[in-house]
Amino acid sequence: MVKKFLIAFFCVTAHGIFAQNGTISPYSFFGIGDLRNNGTVENQMMGGLSMYGDSIHINLNNPAAYSKLRLTVYTAGISNTQYRLEDFTEKQNVSVTSLDYLAIGFPIAKNAGMGFGLMPLSSVGYNLISESQNVDGQLVTNAFTGEGGLNRAYLSFGYEPIKNLSLGVTANFNFGTLEYRRIQSVEDVQFGTLNSRESRISGYDFNYAVNYTPTIKDKYTLYTSVLVNTQGNLISTNSERLGSFSLVNGTDVEVIDVDLDASNLKNTELKIPTRTTLGLGFGEDKKWFAGGEYSFQKFSDFENRFLGLENVTYKDANTYSLGGYFIPEYTSLSSYFKRITYRAGLKYDVTGLEVNNKEINNFGITFGLGLPLGNSFSNLNVGFELGRRGTTDASLIREDYLKINVGLSLNDRWFVKRRIN
């Protein structure tokens, strides 16, 4: 009965990944949208660390961690983000709720495991209005809207060929549609103008991982990892419409499809540069862990010729993460609170995005709880992230945000051979 319920739940909620709008950030206009954090709540609340893996949780970013799985794991996560958007003159509060991931992982041998799932890769979602006056003193209003995003379906495999050394690989298929729209109206003019662009994107990339976790003094573990997300070669099929419309009833007056073949923009290639992550940590199994990671990506190689923006440049990206967890007493029978996992971390993203000659970077502080469910290995994970991205300089927008994450990790004994029929 439980298995049937879980299968039904996964089928229903998977639709939410494709239908949702996961951001309201104006910076989602650039690149391929606002890149999402693909880690589970457990990893996100440790500053986004990817190196740590255990036998009862899925690690979405580190395929080598699947070799540690001893039970079948179903996991799903949702988040609500409260934003305060601020420019030089105004402030606005908005929020967005989204489904962050849906995945299954299971052991297939003593030292091997695999998994698959769905998650958003990026999101586009903004609604901006700018006003100015033309040379005749008329008010000119430009409305910019965008929606859509890319989704990711993945298949992972992890194997431990020798003690303490784990290898893993993930194949990712990325797909989705990005839509951009600009509407301009002029005071006392009957018709407005519109420009609508759409990109249908798909392509593959791969994640490779190596974890080395030797035991020290029979009690402690040294965690080292190298993760490589290979270059994503995405194909974008583009379309564009230009025209005018009635400001009275909103109907199109004269709209044409732009001949993108003439400018060689009908089909373009988006290359997401290779990202490499190095991790180092130390801890005592089922007691505590602390670690740090450094990621780098030659994002200066990225280009989106179809959008053709003049006020944006891309530079090399870097991410610094620190985090860990603490469990007072994993096997405590007298105190529930001693079995809770307490997690915390921080991160700093040099995103590589530069708008109006200003870097758009992000800083976040994370913390959360892993709450055991009954006497099983299943748990409910709740996390919080406080952060800031962007700046109010150069007519830009600063985002202060509070993100609340809820993740469910359920365990079952599938693929375990029965001893008694």
Q: Give residue-wise pLDDT tens across range 176-204.
A: 999 999 999 888 888 889 999 999 999 99
pLDDT over 60 at 414, yes or no: no
Q: Residues 40, 52: contact at Cβ < 8 Å?
A: no
In DSSP notation, 164-187 reads TEEEEEEEEEEEEEEEEEEEEEET
SS3 for 315?
coil
Q: Give the pLDDT mean for 241-258.
A: 84
pLDDT of residue 88: 80
List of residues 6+ apart from 307 with CB closer than 8 A: 180, 197
DSSP one-letter code for 14: H
Q: What is the dihedral of CA 11, 16, 17, 23, to 10 degrees?
A: -170
375-405: per-residue pLDDT in tens? 788 999 999 999 999 999 988 999 999 999 9
Architecture of domain 2-412: Beta Barrel (2.40)
Beta bridge partners of 353: 314
The tokens for 116 are 């698959």
Cα separation of 24 and 399, whole Å? 10
291-340: per-residue pLDDT in tens? 999 999 999 999 888 887 788 999 999 999 999 999 999 888 889 999 99
pLDDT of residue 86: 92
Q: Residues 105, 69: contact at Cβ < 8 Å?
A: yes
Q: Residues 65, 44: contact at Cβ < 8 Å?
A: no
Q: Which residue has the higher pLDDT, 190 or 260?
A: 260
Q: Using pLDDT thresholds of 50, 70 and 90, give the confidence band for residue 247.
A: confident
Cα separation of 132 and 134, whole Å? 7
Cα separation of 193 and 22, whole Å? 28
106-163: per-residue pLDDT in tens? 999 989 999 999 999 999 998 888 888 888 888 888 898 999 999 999 999 999 999 9
15-73: per-residue pLDDT in tens? 445 445 678 888 998 889 998 877 999 999 999 999 999 999 999 999 999 999 999 99
Q: Using pLDDT thresholds of 50, 70 and 90, give the confidence band for residue 224.
A: very high
Domain ranges across the chain:
2-412
Cα separation of 294 and 388, whole Å? 20
pLDDT over 70 at 7, yes or no: no
Beta bridge partners of 354: 313, 359
Counting Cα atoms < 13 Å in the Cβ hemisphere of 50 gives 28
Helix (H) or strand (E) holding 395: none
DSSP one-letter code for 19: H
Handedness of CA 284, 285, 291, 293 (dihedral sign): positive
Cα separation of 158 and 58, whole Å? 11
Beta bridge partners of 115: 105, 156
Angle at 132 between CA 129 and CA 135, to 5 degrees: 150
pLDDT over 70 at 11, yes or no: no
**Closest alpha carbon to 201 in 296, 249, 271:** 271
List of residues 6+ apart from 336 with CB closer than 8 A: 372
pLDDT of residue 417: 52
SS3 for 300?
helix
What average pLDDT does the chain have? 89
pLDDT over 80 at 4, yes or no: no
Q: Would you call 88 exposed, middle or buried from its count of C-beta atoms within 10 A (0-12, 13-18, 19+)?
A: exposed
pLDDT of residue 251: 76
Q: Residues 50, 61: contact at Cβ < 8 Å?
A: yes
**Closest alpha carbon to 39 in 364, 360, 273:** 364
